[in-house]
Amino acid sequence: MNIPSKLIEEAVEEVSKLPGIGKKTALRLVLHLIKQDAKATYGLSDALKNLRENITHCTVCHNLSDDTVCSICSNTHRDHKTVCVVEDVRDVMAIENTMQYRGVYHVLGGVISPMNRIGPDQLTIESLLQRLTGNQVEEVILALSTTMEGDTTAFYLSKKIKTLEVKITAIARGIPLGGELEYADEITLGRSIITRTLLEA
Amino acid sequence: MYIEKLNVLNFKNYSSEEISFSPEINLVTGLNGSGKTNLLDAIHCLSLGKSAFSTQEQNLILTNQPFLSALGFFQKGNKSYEVRYDYQKGSKKVILLDGKAYDRLSDHIGRFPVVLINPDDQKIIREGSEERRKFFDQLFCQIDHQYLTQLMHYMHLLKQRNALLKEWKEGITKKDFVLLDSYDAPLIRLNDELHQKRKQYTQHFLTYFLLQYKKLTEDKEHMNIVYQSDLFKSDFPGLFQKNRERDQILERTTLGIHKDDFLFTLGEQTVKHYGSQGQQKSFVIALKLAQLEMMREFSKTEPILLLDDIFDKLDDERIHHLVHNIAGTTKGQIFITDARPERSMEIIRLLKREIRIFHIDKGKVI
């Protein structure tokens, strides 16, 4: 791409490094900012700078946080006896959006996969186990992806937690709401049959 | 089931070609290297989502072209289906059924069954156990979709376990036996499930095989297929556990169905070491025809039979016998390649079925 201005070129270069953004989109964004009031650009750059300088990981649950302890962990109205274990920050947001969960979280930072050189030590498993020892946690909910790596991690965690006298549960797997049975894959449908629930009238 | 029409673009030595086939017999002729086998391979790709000869997609693309596409029009149970196989250099191959891409390639396997018989098949007998597992797995995967998912699952876990053992050996991570347990538990379960299926399907296969072999030869020898597996030993879970130390030293998993073998015997002896050339050839063809019969039974559709250069080194009488047998086995669509068509032509004519002949020259049908 031939950009006449060195300044624009530099900005485009930086913006296009972001995932999902190509050179053309980057140029469009940059030109848009130039067209806007200068405040818009400063607002963006200040926000990004501020974010980079101040964002941190919660020391309790390892979620991304503004403070050393995140807003969920420091919220006394939440149920600290229940810990939901997830892979990353996006999963926390997904579960928060359901408005169905009042407990706290633990973010692992991934799943175990020796092929990709990710073992228990690369994740926040040790910190989870410490959190569960001697503390008042009564239940751990494993909310991991239903991939083979997710299953391995869940199996590993359940073995590790077993000795700690904490109740371990896993989120249910089954047919999505509004889904038609004929379109469900065999494995999901098969599991749903096996783990069927009692219907109370 | 049969393929009505094939359209290939940049596939091996074909730049662009559209061919309409007979639902009965199609004889493909041409000099060596003209592209007879490539035509069969295109059909193989559409059916199984992969080439029968090359594991790397980019080798299937015509030289200096960026992509390939094969499009097949199939007739199955009075319905038409359009299967497309697309591959572009640097991206993943895509298989589309009636214009819609599959989420998982594995969902396509077994829907349009084909059986290929090829001189290369001799390696099922001659080479290591991997070839025999490949032959039986390909069959079992096509007739039982769950078997396919279980096998993929098994292979994936095995790779992870071996990667873990390697890391331990190299001292990259400290040994955590709970993590090893996390792989062993599902592996032991899948070993058992896959073993039970292999046992059951091999037994089923054997009945088809023995009938086919008897029809193919005058042999009075007793042929057999013996399924061998670590899983036949008593207390496999305990054995697996005990073998952990060995596994750690060797950095790989030494027990399990990935070590299974299928022993082909002739009386008291092995076909591999004591079978004559003729016996070995008949053995392989019987394996393949049994495969066809088993696929027909499970898929409830007639597989397409691809016969690649199988008349080579056979005398007329043997060809006669073989063709007769094949005709007795399948009423479905057949593709035959032969560099010297005059010899097979006469014999095939005796079958009194519709024959269409294609002459290939340098990737063109003329």
Annotate B204-270 with DSSP letters as a single string.
Answer: HHHHHHHHHHHHH----S-EEEEEE-GGGSS-HHHHHHHTHHHHHHHTS--SSGGG-EEEEEETTEE
**Residue scoring higher pLDDT (B79 or B329):** B79
Residue B158 has what pLDDT?
97
Residue-range definition of the domain harbouring residue B245: 125-298
| Minimal C-alpha gap between B149 and chain A (Å) | 9
* pLDDT band, residue B342 (cuts 50/70/90): confident
pLDDT single digits (tens) B70-100:
999 999 988 999 999 999 988 889 999 999 9
Q: How far is CA B14 from CA B27, B32, B63, B149, B227, in A?
A: 18, 15, 10, 34, 42
Model confidence at B366: pLDDT above 90: no
Residue B181 lies in a domain: yes
Does the beta-carbon distance from A115 to B159 stay under 8 Å? yes
| Minimal C-alpha gap between B299 and chain A (Å) | 17
| Phi, psi (deg, nearest 5) at residue B253 | -85, 120
Residue of A125, A129, A159, A187 to mutate for B, most B C-beta atoms under 10 A: A159
Residue B168 lies in a domain: yes
* pLDDT band, residue B318 (cuts 50/70/90): confident
Specify whether the backbone of A80 is left (phi greater than 0), alpha (psi in -120 to 50) or beta. alpha
Residue A8 has what pLDDT?
94
Mean pLDDT, all residues of chain B? 91
Question: Mean pLDDT, to the nearest integer, of B143-152?
Answer: 92
* Dihedral, A69, A72, A75, A80 alpha carbons, nearest 10: -100
- Torsion sign (Cα): B111, B256, A110, B248: negative
What is the token pair recorded at B104? 């998982």
- What B341-344 contacts at long range (C-beta under 8 Å, 24+ apart), as own/partner pairs, is B341/B27, B341/B29, B343/B311, B343/B316, B343/B319, B344/B27, B344/B311, B344/B319
Report the residue from B149, B172, B179 with minimal CB separation from A156: B179
Residue A152 has what pLDDT?
95
Tell me the chain A residues in contact with residue B149 when contact means C-beta distances shorter than 8 Å: 187
* pLDDT band, residue B349 (cuts 50/70/90): confident
Dist CA A60 CA A107 (whole Å)? 9
Tell me the chain B residues in contact with residue A117 when contact means C-beta distances shorter than 8 Å: 167, 172
What is the token pair recorded at A112? 């175990």
Report the residue from A113, A121, A155 with minimal CB separation from B185: A155
Dist CA B56 CA B60 (whole Å)? 7
Residue B302 has what pLDDT?
93
* pLDDT band, residue B347 (cuts 50/70/90): confident
Q: Which residues of chain A have pLDDT under 70?
A: 135
Residue A63 has what pLDDT?
95
Read off the pTM.
Answer: 0.85
Q: What is the CATH number of the domain that holds B214?
A: 1.20.1050.90
- Residue B145's SS3 state is helix
Model confidence at B190: pLDDT above 90: yes
| Minimal C-alpha gap between B192 and chain A (Å) | 18
Residue B351 lies in a domain: no
Does the beta-carbon distance from A160 to B178 stay under 8 Å? yes
Tell me the chain B residues in contact with residue A187 when contact means C-beta distances shorter than 8 Å: 149
Does the beta-carbon distance from B179 to A115 stay under 8 Å? no
Angle between helices A23-35 and A6-15 (to 10 degrees): 120
Question: Is the minimum CB–CB distance between B186 and chain A shorter than 8 Å?
Answer: yes
Tell me the chain A residues in contact with residue B159 when contact means C-beta distances shorter than 8 Å: 115
Q: Which domains does chain A have, with CATH numbers?
A: 6-54 (1.10.8.420), 64-198 (3.40.1360.10)
Domain count, chain B: 1
| Minimal C-alpha gap between A146 and chain B (Å) | 13
Residue B54 lies in a domain: no
Under 8 Å CB-to-CB from A109, ≥6 apart: which residues?
A62, A87, A88, A122, A123, A124
Residue B178 lies in a domain: yes
Beta strands in chain B (DSSP E): 2-11, 14-20, 25-30, 67-76, 79-88, 94-97, 100-101, 114-117, 223-228, 261-266, 269-270, 304-308, 334-338, 355-361, 364-365
Residue B333 has what pLDDT?
94
Instruction: Give Cα A142 distance to the centre of its chain.
Output: 13
Model confidence at B194: pLDDT above 90: yes
Residue B19 lies in a domain: no
Residue B260 lies in a domain: yes
Which residue in chain B is spatially nearest to A186 when comparing CA positions? B146
Number of Cβ pairs < 8 A linking chain A and chain B: 50
Tell me the chain B residues in contact with residue A112 when contact means C-beta distances shorter than 8 Å: 179, 182
Does the beta-carbon distance from B182 to A148 stay under 8 Å? no
Beta strands in A24-122 (DSSP E): 56-57, 64-65, 79-86, 103-107
Q: How far is CA A35 from CA A38, B144, B229, in A?
A: 9, 61, 72
pLDDT single digits (tens) B57-73:
888 999 889 999 999 99
* pLDDT band, residue B282 (cuts 50/70/90): confident
Dist CA B196 CA A104 (whole Å)? 44
Residue B253 lies in a domain: yes
The DSSP output letter for B307 is E
- Max mean pLDDT range (B132-141, B307-316, B346-355): B132-141
What is the token pair recorded at A61? 């649950």
pLDDT single digits (tens) B16-35:
999 999 999 999 998 888 89
Which residue in chain A is spatially nearest to B161 when comparing CA positions? A114
Does the beta-carbon distance from A152 to B145 stay under 8 Å? no
Residue of B145, B182, B188, B251 to mutate for A, most A C-beta atoms under 10 A: B182
* pLDDT band, residue B116 (cuts 50/70/90): very high
Report the residue from B145, B153, B178 with minimal CB separation from A159: B178
